[in-house]
């Protein structure tokens, strides 16, 4: 197991490139299974979650070839003959549950492990299952697996209203509906950029969709889809994370440039809150330039579905608030108990208190380096951000969480002036007793 060692208080300077989006690439990979042939995806990040999902696709019979140098991936789905997603992989990454819709759409049957809990809460998949049932699938639960069958080999199609709106369920239902015999409708569909990109890819593959990017998504089933070449979008959460990094660790008056980005995907609420902190951001077509202010203002945020403030950026926002002059709150309405990073940030000297689904942060206290432990993907990057502004040395442990979703993070930060190093670490080694 590795850890990151960060010498704090080094200024962030120059530029940071944004990698391809993890959450947008995963549904594109699932969609490739619907086409008999070779799909090529471009701008695919090299990440643990992407590798895990590539393996899930291979179990079903697909041949998946990543080309990490060019960030391409080819998926040959000519032979999908084992419609199953095993527990060993689904438990590692919940998005593997996309196999339910993809395999049903391609093979008319699927056996997919239920994902179980997650580090910060139950995260149910009831909407995925009920939505797919509404399309005509027969569903049984067997030994922790969802076993789904399309009577007669193809789903009929149908309507389903998502309550609450769900990114994953919208994608899963659309995957199953694209090759149904009839039409389907998803009401209160998610309109996150990842969903919109995925729908555009499906359309390019020959699917018939109406209402892309609106709350009512209609899908007229077609017999089969064709393979395509598709460019994955930049990671909006990585962009937001880097904007926060530049605001807290940049040199006031000196812009930091974030490149290969798609600023439109961040949503209005994040940009608005960011500007109210006093940080200056200049938004270009594929870049953002952030200039840190002399003093950060405390700005309270509440997460919401797109274009609301992304829940995937709330942990990082807490670190920004810890640097601000005054108190403010972070409220998560999407995942009400996603706060495992708070006790770790407090070990560094932050003053943050959780009450219900809100964290109150009293800013302006000096952070001091310590050993801290990652508990999930976004929590881990918030600890890296905190280490960058803390006095002295911070050790961030269990960074396998970070490696799920941030590509070469330490290399990118080191190129921009941060003193950060990945070192091997034996978490189970016992401290030596003091010699008498
Ligand atoms: C996706 C993202 C994740 C992000 C989240 C919210 C991926 C791989 N993951 O997760 O990073 O934090 O969107 O933007 O893209 N819900 C149910 N029943 C269901 C499904 C969801 O009640 O069957 C609830 C959830 O508990 C949550 C809300 O719906 O409160 C939204 O979750 P959802 O949009 O489904 O998140 P994911 O797709 O799992």
Q: Whose CA is nearest to atom 6 of ligand 1?
A: 311
Per the annotation, the verdict on 281 as an active-site residue is no
| Model pLDDT for residues 77-91, shown as the tens digit of each residue | 999 999 999 999 999
- Ligand 1 close to Cβ of residue 301 (< 6 A): no
Q: Whose CA is nearest to atom 27 of ligand 1?
A: 334
- Ligand 1 close to Cβ of residue 128 (< 6 A): yes
- Ligand 1 close to Cβ of residue 273 (< 6 A): no
Per-residue pLDDT band for 192 (boundaries 50, 70, 90) equals very high
Distance 54 CA to ligand 1 centre (A): 21
Ligand 1 atom with minimal separation from the 122 CA: 26
| Model pLDDT for residues 99-120, shown as the tens digit of each residue | 999 999 999 999 999 997 666 6
Residue 271, pLDDT > 90, answer yes
Ligand 1 atom with minimal separation from the 121 CA: 26
**What local confidence, expressed as pLDDT, does residue 121 receive?**
65
The domains found in the chain, sorted by start residue, are: 2-19+234-424 (3.65.10.10), 22-231 (3.65.10.10)
**What local confidence, expressed as pLDDT, does residue 383 receive?**
98
- Ligand 1 close to Cβ of residue 168 (< 6 A): yes
Q: What would the 3-class secondary structure string for the chain be? A: CEEEEEECCCCECCEEECCECHHHHHHHHHHHCCECCEEEEECCCCCHHHHHHHHHHHHCCCEEEEECCCCEEEEECCCCCCCEECHHHHCCCHHHHHHHHHHHHHHCEEEEECCCCECCECCCCHHHHHHHHHCCCEEEEECCEEEEECHHHCCCCCEEECCCCCHHHHHHHHHHHCCCCCEEEEECCCCCHHHHHHHHHHHHCCCEEECCCCCEEEEECCCCECCCEEECCECHHHHHHHHHHHHHHECCCCCEEEECCCHHHHCHHHHHHHHHCCCEEEECCCCEEEECCCCCCCCCEEECCCCCECHHHHHHHHHHHHHCCCEEEEECCCCCCCCCHHHHHHHCCCEEEEECCEEEEECCCCCECCEEECCCHHHHHHHHHHHHHCECEEEEECCHHHHCCCCCHHHHHHHCCCEEEEEECCCCCCCCCCCC
């Amino acid at each position: 197991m590795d850890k990151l060692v960060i010498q704090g208080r080094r200024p962030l300077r120059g530029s940071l490139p944004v990698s391809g989006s993890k959450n947008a690439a995963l549904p594109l990979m699932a969609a490739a299974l619907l086409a008999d042939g070779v799909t090529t995806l471009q701008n695919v990040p090299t990440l643990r979650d992407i590798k895990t999902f590539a393996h899930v696709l291979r179990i079903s019979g697909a041949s998946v070839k990543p080309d990490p140098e060019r960030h391409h991936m080819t998926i040959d789905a000519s032979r999908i003959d084992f419609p199953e997603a095993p527990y060993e992989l689904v438990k590692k990454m919940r998005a593997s549950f996309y196999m339910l819709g993809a395999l049903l759409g391609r093979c008319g049957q699927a056996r997919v492990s239920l994902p179980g809990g997650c580090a910060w809460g139950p995260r149910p998949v009831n909407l995925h299952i009920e939505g797919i049932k509404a399309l005509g699938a027969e569903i049984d639960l067997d030994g922790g697996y969802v076993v789904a069958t399309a009577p007669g080999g193809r789903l009929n199609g149908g309507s389903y209203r998502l309550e609450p709106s769900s990114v994953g369920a919208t994608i899963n239902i659309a995957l199953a509906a694209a090759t149904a015999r009839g039409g389907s409708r998803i009401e209160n569909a998610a309109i996150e950029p990842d969903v919109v990109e995925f729908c555009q890819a499906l359309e390019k593959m020959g699917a018939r969709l109406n209402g892309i990017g609106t709350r009512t998504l209609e899908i007229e089933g077609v017999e089969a889809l064709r393979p395509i070449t598709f460019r994955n979008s930049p990671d909006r959460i990585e962009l937001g994370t880097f904007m926060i990094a530049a605001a807290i660790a940049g040199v006031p008056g000196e812009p930091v440039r974030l490149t290969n980005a798609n600023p439109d995907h961040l949503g209005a609420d994040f940009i608005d809150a960011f500007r109210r902190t006093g940080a200056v951001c200049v938004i270009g077509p594929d870049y953002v330039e952030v200039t840190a202010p002399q003093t950060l203002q405390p700005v309270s945020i509440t997460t919401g579905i797109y274009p609301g403030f992304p829940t995937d950026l709330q942990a990082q926002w807490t670190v920004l608030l810890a640097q601000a002059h005054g108190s403010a709150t972070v409220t998560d309405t999407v995942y009400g108990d996603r706060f495992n990073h708070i006790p770790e940030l407090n070990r560094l000297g932050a003053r943050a208190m959780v009450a219900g689904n809100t964290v109150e942060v009293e800013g302006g206290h000096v952070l001091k380096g310590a050993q801290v432990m990652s508990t999930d993907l976004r929590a881990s990057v918030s600890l890296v951000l905190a280490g960058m502004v803390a006095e002295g040395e911070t050790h961030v442990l269990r960074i396998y969480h970070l490696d799920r979703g941030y590509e070469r993070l330490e290399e990118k930060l080191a190129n921009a002036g941060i003193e950060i190093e990945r070192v091997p670490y034996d978490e189970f080694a016992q401290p030596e007793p003091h010699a008498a």
